[in-house]
Structure 1
């Protein structure tokens, strides 16, 4: 397998719709998928929840990387993400993101700049672009 490929296996693990997924290159960290009763037991993540978490994680990685590349100090970082679904068809319609940073030297212009870059560099954001509306806010908590 080369660096341009990813492989997962997803296996049915009960008599409803619970599955366990593993990345072939990192099988020690399985993810349990399930759906709400009566279709499932609600004992795992729904696909759209994993998509939202993937988006938040990918954007976080990109923002933190870019800020550190600029030589900025990051004392704390958190993203709160909320997804809004449509029902027919069931899909992710909108994502609201709140970035909360703690730093001694990050200014508003720094975070605005890296958010714009993240929109172009974050692989999950690029994949969702033109399909999901993203609203992003940020808060920088200045530390002394």
Structure 2
């Protein structure tokens, strides 16, 4: 896996993934940022949420659960002192579907957070990672 980051100006950077996708990153205003892109630590949290969402959806599909939507809300707290690592991350899973069983959702989350999601497992080395979920029933 590869990534490339190019400095544009001030604290504005253009990131490019090894697969050719790009993202704009910008720092906070107090560091010279202009609000034109995501902050790198936001991307890290979003990457973790995307990683676990991928796992949970795949596991639920393989379990033949009729899922229609999955939204992950991630909240991260960082230390006050540098390095400002994440110290606590809470993940809230919103699973929408028809007759989705809670035990399957719990199993999928457990498998993701303890076995498959590299981002969660890596960030859990410095942060306490907690999670909860809700199932939204559709007709």
TM-score (normalised: structure 2): 0.91
Q: How far apart in 1 are the matches of 2:118 and 2:43?
A: 15
The question of 1:137 aligning with 2:139 is answered no
Offset at residue 108 of structure 1 (A): 1.1
Q: How far apart in 2 are the matches of 1:128 and 1:36?
A: 22
The question of 1:18 aligning with 2:15 is answered no
Structure 2 residue aligned with 1:69: 62
Alignment partner of 1:112: what SS?
A: helix
Offset at residue 36 of structure 1 (A): 1.1
Pairs within 5 Å for 1:75-114: 75-89=68-82, 90-114=84-108
* 8 Å contact kept, 2:85–2:126: no
Q: Name the stretch that deviates more: 53-62 or 81-90.
A: 81-90
The question of 1:57 aligning with 2:54 is answered no
* 8 Å contact kept, 2:65–2:101: no
TM-score (normalised: structure 1): 0.88
The question of 1:123 aligning with 2:115 is answered no
Q: Which runs of 5+ in 1 are unaligned?
A: 1-5
The question of 1:45 aligning with 2:42 is answered no
Moved over 4 A (4+): none
Q: How far apart in 2 are the matches of 1:135 and 1:47?
A: 22
Alignment partner of 2:36: what SS?
A: coil
Q: How far apart in 1 are the matches of 2:94 and 2:15?
A: 31
